[in-house]
Amino acid sequence: MPPLPKYEYTGPVDCTIPPDRAQLKGKSVIVTGGANGMGESTVRAFAAEGAFVTIADVNDERGNNLAKELHPNAQFVHCNITSWEEQVQTFEAAIANSPNRSCDVVIANAGISRASGDDLWPLDDPNAPPVKPGLAIIDVNMIGTLYTWKLAVHYFRKQPDVPERDRCFIITGSMVAWIDSPANWQYTCTKYGLRGLMRVARRSSWEQGIRINYVAPCYIKSAIRSPEYEAELTRKGVQFAPQEDVAMCMMRLATDQTINGHSLMITPKSVAKEGFKDAEQDDHIEEGYLKRNQETQLRVIEDQWQVGWSKTRTAEGATKSNGHS
Ligand SMILES: NC(=O)c1ccc[n+]([C@@H]2O[C@H](COP(=O)([O-])OP(=O)(O)OC[C@H]3O[C@@H](n4cnc5c(N)ncnc54)[C@H](O)[C@@H]3O)[C@@H](O)[C@H]2O)c1
């Protein structure tokens, strides 16, 4: 791909430009959680444009059926993203079976919600011993996605940084990274956390030609919640957006090698006619304390991703002098 410039705010992504679909032909794309919901829609849309998609999911039946249906443009790999080893196998399979033996686009989409149970929610008996919570949502959404990121960086850097290839990482986040969502305890922590991952990574990943973007869906109909709850939400005035708009947003990001460091929101068409728009909430544009503080932060932390940090700086960032660190 063309050299990525250092991340700088240059205004919102123009979402009215349609995706350049031809860019997907022959690209190797991993979609975690690709057996259902918006992941599945994304798999279908990318495969239809000639990409080779690796579906990484725990749902063997749906994943295998989808891969069979989309053959030869898709394969299924059983992968629980909380398992480092299963994710390694996924990346290896993506490279081994794709037309150019590459890994170009990684869509970290797998996630679970409080529908799976959130142990931070129950108010336990204050007179009984405290109950240690399970943190499964953190394990999947946060730790699993950090494994995906770490592996994407590894495998992106194994292949030449040339225009025919890409090094594109996309996170499926959520609108809850901007709005308060009572009772969504762990889920909200993870989606804010992943937005944080995008913002820390975009400041360094360009050095390795890796671009990272965040997609924040509003309410989308999927298996993540029950049909009964969906119906109740509709009665309460919630507007759902179609899964296909998520797929189109993913495609816009995956086919424009100049887009780096943005969050795009999926919205109902009444808000943005394309079904998605730049969130424009990740940069300090107005003069003030936060903008000044951001500028200071970028000035004092001068480390380059690898070289600067390991050779001339201590782990906390101080300059090494006279052999003392
Ligand atoms: N549906 C919504 O309203 C909505 C809104 C905002 C964000 N999201 C996010 O979108 C993403 C996709 O969700 P969806 O709504 O399409 O849900 P979905 O349940 O339809 O699909 C999620 C897929 O992820 C898979 N999965 C779950 N745990 C996994 C694991 N540990 N390893 C691998 N695969 C796993 C599931 O088997 C499923 O195929 C999630 O990250 C979710 O948080 C959904």
> Which residue range forms the structural domain that includes residue 109?
21-287
Q: 315 in a domain, yes or no?
A: no
Rounded-to-integer distance, Cα 34 and Cα 66, Å: 9
Q: 9 in a domain, yes or no?
A: no
Amino acid symbol at 193: G
191 is catalytic: yes
By CB atoms closer than 10 A (0-12, 13-18, 19+), residue 310 is exposed
Q: 158 in a domain, yes or no?
A: yes
Q: How confident is the model at residue 317 (pLDDT cuts 50, 70, 90)?
A: confident
Residue 95: how many other CB atoms lie within 10 Å: 18
Q: 249 in a domain, yes or no?
A: yes
Rounded-to-integer distance, Cα 145 and Cα 142, Å: 5
- At 29-59, the pLDDT tens digits run 999 999 999 999 999 999 999 999 999 999 9
What percentage of the chain reaches a pLDDT higher than 90? 87
Instruction: Answer positive or negative: Cα dihedral of 11, 16, 18, 19.
Output: positive
CATH of residue 99's domain is 3.40.50.720
Residue of 30, 31, 32, 38 with the most ligand 1 atoms within 8 Å of its CB, for mutation: 38
Q: 10 in a domain, yes or no?
A: no
Chain CA centroid to CA 87, Å: 15
Two tokens, residue 201: 């990574």
pTM of the model: 0.96
Q: 92 in a domain, yes or no?
A: yes
Two tokens, residue 67: 């891969």
The number of domains in the chain is 1
Q: 56 in a domain, yes or no?
A: yes
Q: Is 102 in the pocket of ligand 1 (CB under 6 A)?
A: no
Cβ–Cβ under 8 Å, residues 141 and 196:
no
Nearest CA to ligand 1 atom 2: 220
Q: 307 in a domain, yes or no?
A: no
Section 299-317 average pLDDT: 76
Question: In the chain, count of helices (H) and strands (E)?
Answer: 10, 8
Residue 109 CA, ligand 1 centroid: distance in Å? 6
Two tokens, residue 103: 């890994």
DSSP 8-class letter at 7? P
